Homo-oligomer: A and B are copies of this chain.
C-alpha cells in the first residue's frame, strides 16, 4: 500500500505537500496539485485513516449504539445515519447492545478512543454516565431525553393523542393498548400519555403486555385483546401490529367492523393489503440523520457548541381502520 512518502517521491515534492494536496487542496499551487494527484492515482494511494487519526485525533467514525438490529425501526435509523455520515466522508460503527446497560457502558468506553462521537439509540445508561462520556466525546441521545445532551425524540404521544381523539369522537369507551417492552423509555411515555387522555375523557384504557416487540408476541396477544371487550386497540409498534392483524385474520375478527386498530409506527405497513391501518408514523430515518448531523456539527464546529435537540413530529394517518364501536 502506497504511503504519502511514496507519492511525494513519485511527484517530486515533499510529503507535506502531498498531505496538503489531499486534505487542503486550496493550499497548494494548481500545477503541483495536478502532479500530485496524478502520482497518487498512479500508485493507487489512499490515505491511511488510522495514521491520520493519530495526528488529528479524529477517526472519521461515529458510533451508533442500538438495542438490536432485528427491529426494523432501529435498522432504519442505522441505515439513514450511515448514509448521511457517508456524505461527509465518515462512517458509522454500529454496536448492538441488546438494551443491556452493561453492554452499553462497555461499548461506550471501548469505542471512546476510536470514534468522534456517539449516537445512542434509546439509551439505558444513567444520565450521569452519559453526561460523563459527553465530557470527552460528543454524545447524542435518540429516543430519550437526557438532560445536558442533545436529544432527539419523537412526538409519538402527540400523534397517539390525535388517534385517541378520533376514537373518542367515534364513541369508543374502552380501548386496549398493547404495550412494548417495559425497558422502553418511549413506551413509558406513551403509556403516561394514554392514561392522561383516559382521565380527561373518562375512558378506560386496558394495557396488554408488556411484550417484546415481535411478530409472534403480537399474534399471541391478539385473541386476548379480541375477547377483552375493548372496541379498539392501539399497538406499540408495527411489528406487533402485523402479528395482531395476522391473528385477527385467522380468528375472523374483522377490522374495523369488530375492532378498530391503530399502530404507533408504520414501518413495513406501507403497502399492506386491505384497508390501510391508522398509524402514527415515526420518522426513524430522520432520527438517524438528525443525530449524525448534530454530531457533525459538534465535531466540526466550535468546541463548546451543543446543537439543540428536537422532538420530531409524527405524521398521523387516520384511515378506515377506525370506525364506531360495534355495539355503540
Q: Give residues of chain A (244-264) contacting chain B, Cβ–Cβ below 8 Å.
A: 245-247, 249-250
Interface size class of A (residues with CB under 8 A): 35 or more
CB distance from A5 to the nearest CB of B (A): 15
Inter-chain contact B46/A113, CB cutoff 8 Å: yes
- CA gap between A165 and B242 in the complex, in Å: 32
CB distance from A49 to the nearest CB of B (A): 5
Number of copies: 2
Inter-chain contact A1/B113, CB cutoff 8 Å: yes
As a 0/1 sequence over residues 39 to 76 of chain A, the CB contacts with chain B under 8 angstroms (1 = contact) are: 00000001111110110000100000000111010011
The answer, yes or no, to whether A27 is at the interface (CB within 8 Å) is no
CB-CB under 8 A for A93 and B93, given A113-B48, A249-B249:
yes
The answer, yes or no, to whether A214 is at the interface (CB within 8 Å) is yes
State which of A28-36, A270-278, A303-311, A315-323 sits at the interface with chain B: A270-278
Partner of A216, one of B76, B96, B250, B268: B268
Residues of B within 8 A of A242 (CB): 215, 242, 246
The answer, yes or no, to whether A293 is at the interface (CB within 8 Å) is no
Residues of B within 8 A of A76 (CB): 70
CB distance from A216 to the nearest CB of B (A): 4
- CA gap between A93 and B72 in the complex, in Å: 19
Partner of A69, one of B79, B109, B273: B79
CB distance from A101 to the nearest CB of B (A): 17
Can you name 8 A-B pairs with beta carbons within 8 Å?
Answer: A1-B113, A50-B113, A54-B54, A78-B94, A216-B269, A242-B242, A245-B246, A246-B249
The answer, yes or no, to whether A112 is at the interface (CB within 8 Å) is yes
Inter-chain contact B96/A93, CB cutoff 8 Å: no
Residues of B within 8 A of A1 (CB): 113, 136
